[in-house]
Amino acid sequence: MLIIRKEQFRTFEKIAEKQFEDRMVVHLQKYFHEKCSEVGEEGVRGSIEKAVFRTRELGLKMEYDIERFLNHMYTLGFDFDTNLKFPWAEEVFSDPDVDPSELMDILSERTQRELEQEEERKGQ
């Protein structure tokens, strides 16, 4: 029988977290190159840590959801979920009856709608 001690399990977790962070750095560099250049690699890694911390608070566990949260951070701003400029984002996260992954679906749809409306206002 194989027994994994807590220390060994924590080592595996740290390796997985580092691999996730490295994948997100590549993702963010690819899709948000300009913003990544502004904040530098240290800032990018810091934003990933912030996203992981914040998404844990929100109950998000899937890597895909954390990635989507990061995409919102780089699209709307690193504090989009608490920024008064986006009260609808805080509203989405305040519904305790919605599954965390579904929250990200709702947030993505709402963000798309809000950005489209903002573009329409600019075009008028």
Condensed to tens digits (0 to 9), the pLDDT of residues 54-96 reads 999 988 889 999 999 999 999 999 999 999 999 989 888 888 8
Number of Cβ within 10 Å of residue 63's Cβ equals 14
75: in domain? yes
Question: What is the residue range of 56's domain?
Answer: 7-123
Side chain identity at residue 44, one-letter code:
V
94: in domain? yes
88: in domain? yes
CA 69 to the chain's CA centroid: 2
2: in domain? no
Condensed to tens digits (0 to 9), the pLDDT of residues 23-61 reads 999 999 999 999 999 999 999 999 999 999 999 998 888
* Closest alpha carbon to 31 in 72, 78, 80: 72
- The CA-atom distances, in angstroms, between 56 and each of 36, 51, 66 are 23, 8, 9
69: in domain? yes
113: in domain? yes
pTM: 0.86
Quote the number of domains for the chain. Answer: 1
What's the token pair of residue 89?
């984002």
54: in domain? yes
